[in-house]
Amino acid sequence: MTTSTPETIAILGGTGDLGTGLAWRWARAGHRILIGSRTAERAEEAAAKLRERCPGADVRALDNVTAAREATVVALTVPAAHQLDTLATVRDALQGKILIDVTVPLVPPKVGTVQLPPEGSAGKRAQALLGEGVDVVSAFQNISALLLQQDVQIQCDVLVSGNKKAARERVIALAADAGMRGWHAGPIENAAAAEALTSILIQINRSGGLSHAGIRIVGDAAH
């Protein structure tokens, strides 16, 4: 069950591997899920699969704008190439809300090379586009989409960046509901670190003979 206040979470791009993985974990924790998509048929298909996997879950399929308008928290899980276009269509609906931006600015074919956008990070450019009326929180970039979909304990921590501590706290609580430990990572400018780490983890997977490499934060408790 949920460890945080139950939310109505819209997942824009909720038909892909990352979106469906987060949707399942949050639905299982008791949150209401709105699957947003530009294609109604794909949204309905993803919602039906989630209801089948998680009987009794409150799941609806909607277009992106309606999903964003009805949600209390919105997660963006689209490829980097569609980040700004998608956000532009829902900008008004996001005002006064938290946007969890999961965008990783990978540039094929060299996805193992750090190539951050001119704005500094995908999270920072999302905040610039949406304005101060939206609390952009960058998180979940270093988590394997395949692991999110499996009923396993994910041995990876989540770096959570955003300009308001209260918004980061809510996302850290949602990370816990999804079975992971989140950490305050500072303002949205620091999203660059987590986004860049994704390419590094890809290199570690390739050269180290690993799969689903992630990060863990360790240290002694302060006295």
Number of domains the chain contains: 1
CB 136, CB 99: distance < 8 Å: yes
2 lies in some domain: no
Q: Are 181 and 175 in contact (CB under 8 A)?
A: yes
Report if residue 129 sits inside a domain: yes
Q: In angstroms, rounded to a whole number, what is the distance separating the alpha carbons of residues 157 and 217? A: 7
Q: What pLDDT shows up at residue 4?
A: 63
pLDDT score recorded for residue 64 = 95
- Is there a domain that residue 1 lies in? no
Q: Is 221 contained in some domain?
A: no
CA triple 135-137-143, angle to 5 deg = 160
Looking at 17-31, 121-135, 147-161, 197-211, which range is the least confident one?
Answer: 197-211
Contact 101, 76 (CB under 8 A): yes
Per-residue pLDDT of 144-164, as tens digits, reads 999 999 999 999 999 999 999
CB 87 within 8 A of CB 68: no
Could you give phi then psi for residue 62, rounded to 5 degrees? -140, 165
- Please check the confidence at residue 3 and state whether its pLDDT lies above 80: no
Decide: residue 176, CB within 10 A, 0-12 exposed, 13-18 middle, 19+ buried: middle
The per-residue pLDDT for range 89-108, each reduced to its tens digit, is 999 999 999 999 999 999 89
For the chain, give the mean pLDDT: 94
Q: Range of 80's domain?
A: 8-208
CATH number of the domain residue 80 falls in: 3.40.50.720
- For the stretch 192-210, pLDDT in tens is 999 999 999 999 999 988 7
220 in a domain, yes or no?
A: no
Position 2 scores a pLDDT of 58
Reported as a single tens digit per residue, the pLDDT across 41-58 is 889 999 999 999 999 999
**Residue 1 pLDDT class (50, 70, 90 cuts):** low
Q: What is the pLDDT of residues 55-78, one digit of tens each?
A: 999 999 999 999 999 999 999 999
> So what's the pLDDT on residue 209?
81
**What was the pLDDT predicted at 14?**
85
Helix ranges (H only) for 54-82 are 64-70
pLDDT at 29 over 90: yes
- Percent of the chain past pLDDT 90, that is, above it, reads 87
Instruction: Please indicate, yes or no, if residue 18 is contained in any of the structural domains.
Output: yes
Q: Is residue 123 part of a domain?
A: yes
Give the contacts of 207 (CB within 8 A, at least 6 positions apart): none
Instruction: Say what the pLDDT of residue 215 is.
Output: 93
